[in-house]
Amino acid sequence: MTEEKMLKVEKIRRGTVIDHIPVGRAFKVLKILKISSDPGVTVSIAIHVKSKKMGLKDVVKIEDRILDSSELNKIALIADGATITIVEDYGVIKKFVVKLPDIITGILKCSNLKCVSNMEGSIIPSFTLISKEPLTIKCHYCEREMETEEIVENIL
């Protein structure tokens, strides 16, 4: 059976579909997009969906919302390789894959409270990607290394 035939949530008229999210991470995506604090947004979530590519995956559909580049980079931090589909009048108008950049700037803060990037308001936090599996990034300023859990907690 194709993935489409196994669709668990309805198609949307207009908005953004985030597909191929690693299983269990849908709620982290919602947290990043600050969905829970915004009652004006309609969201469908499918978790533990069977996928040929990934075994299991999560899917999030957000109606009437287009994500900006900073939001897309934040999604790449916890769902590198997720597929973003922009829907208009029930049709797909744009589709692309999010990719974690080698340098990650301005979307999360350093977990080291004494880091100069946390002390000086004018400094934009910046990290280098060290490894994708397990996800590890390194602060440009204090060289603190951060992994997934810490990364998610510190997303701005």
Binding residues vs ligand CTP (CB under 6 A): 3-4, 7, 11-12, 17, 19, 59, 61, 83, 85, 87, 90, 92, 95
Rounded CA gap, 141 and 148, in Å? 19
Span near Zn ion by CB under 5 A; candidates 5-13, 23-31, 85-93, 105-113: 105-113
Nearest CA among 9, 90, 86, 87 for reference residue 46 = 9
Residue range at the interface with Zn ion (CB under 5 A); choices 47-55, 83-91, 100-108, 113-121: 113-121
Instruction: Write 3-11 long-range contacts (CB < 8 A, 24+).
Output: 3/49, 3/50, 3/51, 3/52, 6/49, 6/50, 8/46, 8/49, 8/59, 9/44, 9/45, 9/46, 9/59, 9/61, 10/44, 11/87, 11/90
Q: Which listed option, Zn ion, ligand CTP, none, makes contact with residue 142 (CB within 5 to 8 Å by class)?
A: Zn ion
Applying the rule CB under 5 A, the residues between 61 and 100 that interact with Zn ion are none
Sheet of strand 135-139: strand arrangement: 103-105, 126-132, 135-139, 145-147
Per partner kind, with CB cut-offs from 5 to 8 A, the member of Zn ion, ligand CTP, none near residue 68 is: none
Nearest residue to the partner ligand CTP, using Cβ:
11
- Per CB under 5 A, which region of 3-11, 49-57, 94-102, 133-141 contacts Zn ion? 133-141
> Which CB, 62 or 137, lies closer to ligand CTP?
62
Find which of ligand CTP, Zn ion, none residue 3 binds, CB within 5 to 8 Å per kind.
ligand CTP
